[in-house]
């Protein structure tokens, strides 16, 4: 065995996350890239491999052993050291001769498969010993050291042997790193040739300093191997990390035994994480802003050029490092390393590869189980309501010839940079994503009132404001807003608040920034749509659920700004501080008016449609010229979600006059339409105060429309009226269900309709989020809706959003209960 000072620096990847392990093909692809990039170690430690952790005593079956043997050989053939890790800490009895024998037997089996290096992991376990062990060992550290040294000797001192302690970061060292009796004993008694792993100050460390490593090394009496979780995402269902290796000075290279990165669960998302680690490992200095004129020129070019593809960075920069000074020292800069990685990674998107069979998300086993249950019941998260009465299942869709996408539909390098900015690093958003957050906050907090907007439009010589947001809103011709473009002047910053008593100049500035905000949101939608066209389908499916979530949340903000643009107002906005959980999308959602149960409303339980679709749906405030299209949508979904045109041959507008027109006239500020490339395909209507609305319906709306229809007779036919006659009766003599308790607790009510082509796309969820946020902003504390009691799918959908079935008991007069075929659902805000 080589002396410690002569041993090779270990640098590579640990597959150590919670979630579905990578496939054999993915691991072989990883080994190939590692070999090209100069990385030399792969640590096999997937938490969800039962025989690595939960059932560590069990031997691998013949088939499993053959697969593992082949993997070890594939690793060796590419010059990468394969280290097999076992984690017996969940239930091992250290003093049990039987357990010790079983552990040796298991490691012997793996050694016989060709493995020459091993690791013992005791992370993420309880530190209390069982009664049997307490009689034998003075402490938990003694027990772990004893069995680890025993395994090291039994395996005849392998080429590499790693140990992960229970106190594996500074925040878990008790009371401190310097005074931890556990770490002091590990350092003193663990065999000096066994390397100790460490994650830094925390489990997920923003920065790992040279000083902190020097302190640790003095305690454990050896340089540690960093198990780096900077790109790990198994702890958060909504986060992905595509940013560069950062927060680690290359001065650490002289203080460490090695670094292994534990990256994203989604294999395809790890190109930048591993590529930039490889660049970092070859450098001898962290480049500062004054160190290199070349670097200064490069960063200036990056700041001035919105198209990073124009930068003159060689594709083989990974082997030339990021920059060099005159004396030949190599330097590392995360920004330059990122650009180099993205240029190489972008080529991977264009490689045709088929979608993996039996694809399922790599995280969240609970949601997978729920999806299976939904499949068996014949429904899913995407089977949303088609109308308040009845939904219609979406037609099956087949992935088409994605490779034939037009140039305008193809995934671009700008799209990739935007996606990386949205999913950057655990403690840092990318510049474009951070700009969206700041700009939305500014627009929300400084929104002008309806009267100011009207005055502004009249001053321009226009009709009253007729705003649209997002992809379908006619703002695509506006110049794309770059990260630092916020229409600032005279030294203003992006988030400078407008003073009280806004004038029309202020309103003009607000409207211009709103337009540019819509354009940025359109860029995010484009990014998602273009991603769905890439030929590399496995990569698409690794990124899909995250890009969909980013698109949905950004368009939610876009719809809210469009509502403000149309005269809505948000009283007492509350910008909550950033916290890591949920990432950029969760932080965006916290900027919206917070309704009760926001965690359930905005949580990751809402999954994207399958298969991926490039169609973009926009939610925007209703405009006067939408009326005919909204009426048509109502008619085409009016027969329990199906087309009702044949039911109303004489009066095709009557359905709209009864169920849509009153809202468009009496409550237009709470009316929204859904658009795709073909036009309006859904709508959402609400009123703030149901009692006031029903009163206005009788006193203001009915006189406007009843002159267009014949007065129905008072008697009802014995055989039952035709749908047209039945609705005529309801139009002239409407019956409203609004008992006192319903008006008191859930004063607002709503109605939503989607055309068939928009169903099953997840847009119903986004529409409800938009409406609930606007109702909350206007002061509502509860909303209700009526639905067909037989529509189990719609009921399940609404309950997922936080609605509950309201049990309204009749009073002494028999009033207070809805009709038998109607359910009343309510949600507190």
- Both tokens of residue 632? 């048509």
- Both tokens of residue 491? 């030294």
| DSSP one-letter code for 642 | B
State the Cα–Cα distance between residues 629 and 631, nearest whole angstrom.
Answer: 5
| DSSP one-letter code for 425 | B
User: Shortest CA distance to 39 belongs to which of 232, 259, 356?
Assistant: 259
State the Cα–Cα distance between residues 348 and 323, nearest whole angstrom.
Answer: 25
* DSSP track, 529-574: HHHTT-SBHHHHHHHHHHHHHHHHHHHHHHHHHHHHHTT---SS--
State the Cα–Cα distance between residues 549 and 544, nearest whole angstrom.
Answer: 8
Contact 394, 577 (CB under 8 A): no
What is the sign of the dihedral through the CA atoms of 516, 517, 521 and 524?
Answer: positive
Ranges of H-type helices in 40-125: 62-77, 97-112
Ranges of H-type helices in 190-286: 210-220, 271-281
State the Cα–Cα distance between residues 313 and 290, nearest whole angstrom.
Answer: 20
- Both tokens of residue 52? 């690595």
Q: Is 124 a catalytic residue?
A: yes
Beta-strand ranges (E) seen in 650-806 are 671-676, 679-687, 748-754, 782-788, 804-805
Helix, strand, or coil here: 24? Answer: helix
| DSSP one-letter code for 21 | P
Alpha-carbon distances, residue 605 vs 141, 222, 735, 767 (angstroms): 41, 45, 37, 16
User: Shortest CA distance to 488 belongs to which of 448, 459, 516?
Assistant: 516
Contact 542, 479 (CB under 8 A): no
Helix, strand, or coil here: 682? Answer: strand
User: Shortest CA distance to 268 belongs to which of 246, 242, 245, 243?
Assistant: 242
* DSSP track, 344-357: HHHHHHTS-BPPPT
Of 29, 124, 495, 643, the active-site residue reads 124
Q: Burial, 298: exposed, middle or buried (Cβ in 10 Å; 0-12, 13-18, 19+)?
A: buried
- Both tokens of residue 616? 């973009």
Quick one: three-class SS letters along 485-522? CCCCCCCCCCCCCCCCCCCHHHHHHHHHHHHHHHHHHH
Alpha-carbon distances, residue 498 vs 31, 65, 444, 591 (angstroms): 55, 67, 11, 18
| DSSP one-letter code for 700 | I
State the Cα–Cα distance between residues 585 and 543, nearest whole angstrom.
Answer: 15
State the Cα–Cα distance between residues 217 and 383, nearest whole angstrom.
Answer: 56
- Both tokens of residue 129? 């010993």
State the Cα–Cα distance between residues 324 and 347, nearest whole angstrom.
Answer: 26
Dihedral, CA of residue 301, residue 305, residue 307 and residue 309, to nearest 10: -20
* DSSP track, 62-85: HHHHHHHHHHHHHHHHTT-EEEEE
Q: Rounded to the nearest 5°, which phi and psi values hold at 439? A: -70, -40
- Both tokens of residue 174? 């008790």
**Which residues carry out catalysis?**
124
């Amino acid at each position: 065995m080589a002396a410690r000072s002569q041993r090779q620096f270990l640098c590579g990847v640990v597959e150590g996350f919670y979630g579905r392990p990578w496939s054999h093909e993915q691991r072989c692809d990883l080994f190939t890239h590692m070999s090209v990039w100069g990385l030399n170690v792969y640590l096999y430690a997937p938490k969800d491999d039962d025989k690595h952790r939960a059932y560590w005593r069990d031997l691998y079956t013949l088939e499993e052993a053959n697969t593992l043997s082949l993997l070890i050989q594939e690793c060796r053939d590419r010059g990468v050291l394969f280290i097999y890790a076992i984690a017996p800490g969940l239930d091992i009895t250290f003093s049990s001769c039987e357990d010790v024998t079983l552990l040796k037997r298991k490691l012997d089996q793996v050694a016989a498969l060709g493995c020459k290096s091993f690791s013992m992991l005791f992370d993420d376990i309880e530190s209390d010993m069982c009664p049997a062990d307490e009689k034998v060992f003075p402490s938990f550290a003694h027990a772990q050291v004893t069995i680890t040294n025993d395994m090291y000797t039994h395996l005849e001192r392998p080429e590499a042997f790693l140990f992960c302690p229970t106190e594996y970061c500074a925040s878990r060292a008790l009371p401190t790193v310097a005074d931890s009796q556990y770490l002091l004993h590990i350092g003193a008694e663990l065999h000096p040739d066994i390397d100790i792993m460490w994650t830094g100050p925390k489990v997920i460390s923003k920065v790992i300093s040279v000083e902190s490593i020097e302190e640790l090394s003095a305690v454990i009496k050896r340089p540690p191997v960093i198990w780096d979780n900077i790109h790990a995402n198994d702890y958060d269902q909504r986060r992905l990390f595509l940013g560069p290796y950062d927060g680690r000075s290359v001065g650490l290279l002289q203080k460490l035994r090695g670094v292994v990165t534990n990256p994203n669960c989604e294999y395809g998302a790890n190109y930048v994480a591993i590529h930039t680690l490889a660049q970092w490992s070859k450098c001898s200095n962290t480049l500062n802003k004054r160190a290199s004129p070349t670097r200064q020129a490069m960063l200036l070019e990056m700041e001035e050029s919105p198209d990073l593809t124009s930068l003159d960075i060689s594709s083989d920069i990974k082997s030339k490092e990021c920059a060099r000074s005159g004396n030949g020292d190599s330097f590392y800069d995360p920004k330059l390393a990122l650009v180099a990685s993205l240029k190489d990674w972008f080529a991977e998107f264009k490689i045709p590869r088929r979608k993996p069979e039996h694809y399922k998300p790599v995280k969240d086993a609970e949601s997978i189980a729920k999806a299976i249950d939904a499949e068996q019941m014949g429904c899913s998260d995407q089977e949303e309501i088609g109308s308040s009465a009845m939904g219609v299942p979406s037609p099956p869709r087949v992935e088409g010839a994605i490779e034939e996408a037009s140039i305008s539909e193809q995934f671009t390098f700008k799209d990739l940079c935007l996606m990386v900015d949205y999913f950057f690093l655990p403690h840092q958003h990318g510049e474009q994503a951070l700009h969206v957050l700041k700009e939305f906050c500014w627009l929300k907090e400084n929104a002008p009132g309806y009267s100011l907007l009207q005055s502004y439009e009249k001053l321009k010589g226009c009709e009253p404001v007729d705003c649209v947001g997002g992809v379908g809103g006619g703002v695509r011709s506006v110049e794309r807003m770059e990260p630092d473009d916020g229409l600032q002047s005279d030294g203003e910053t992006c988030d400078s608040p407008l003073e009280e008593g806004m004038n029309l100049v202020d309103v003009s500035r607000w409207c211009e920034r709103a337009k540019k905000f819509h354009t940025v949101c359109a860029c995010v939608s484009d990014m998602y749509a273009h991603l769905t066209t890439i030929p590399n389908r496995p990569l698409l499916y690794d990124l899909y659920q995250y890009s969909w979530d980013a698109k949905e949340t950004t368009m939610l903000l876009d719809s809210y700004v469009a509502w403000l643009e149309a005269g809505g107002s948000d009283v007492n906005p509350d910008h909550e501080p950033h916290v890591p959980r949920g990432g950029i999308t969760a932080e965006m959602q916290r900027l919206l008016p917070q309704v009760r149960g926001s965690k359930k409303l905005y949580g990751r339980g809402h999954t994207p449609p399958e298969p991926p679709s490039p169609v973009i749906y926009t939610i925007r405030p209703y405009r006067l010229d939408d009326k005919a299209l909204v009426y048509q949508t109502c008619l085409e979904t009016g027969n329990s979600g199906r087309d009702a045109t044949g039911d109303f041959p004489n009066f095709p507008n009557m359905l709209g006059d009864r169920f849509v027109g009153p809202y468009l006239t009496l409550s237009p500020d709470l009316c929204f339409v859904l658009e795709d490339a073909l036009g309006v395909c859904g709508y959402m209507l609400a009123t703030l105060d149901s009692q006031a609305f029903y009163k206005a319906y009788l006193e203001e709306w009915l006189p406007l429309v009843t002159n267009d229809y014949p007065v129905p007779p008072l008697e009802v036919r014995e055989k039952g009226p035709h749908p047209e006659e039945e609705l005529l009766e309801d139009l002239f003599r409407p019956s409203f269900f609004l008992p006192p308790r319903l008006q008191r607790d859930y004063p607002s009510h709503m109605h939503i309709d989607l055309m068939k082509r928009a169903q099953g796309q997840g847009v119903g969820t986004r529409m409800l989020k938009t409406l609930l946020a606007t109702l909350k902003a206007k002061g509502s504390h509860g909303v209700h809706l009526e639905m067909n009691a037989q529509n189990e799918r719609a009921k399940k959908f609404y309950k997922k959003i936080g609605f509950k079935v309201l049990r309204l008991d009749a009073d002494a007069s028999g009033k207070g209960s809805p009709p038998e075929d109607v359910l009343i659902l309510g949600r507190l805000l």
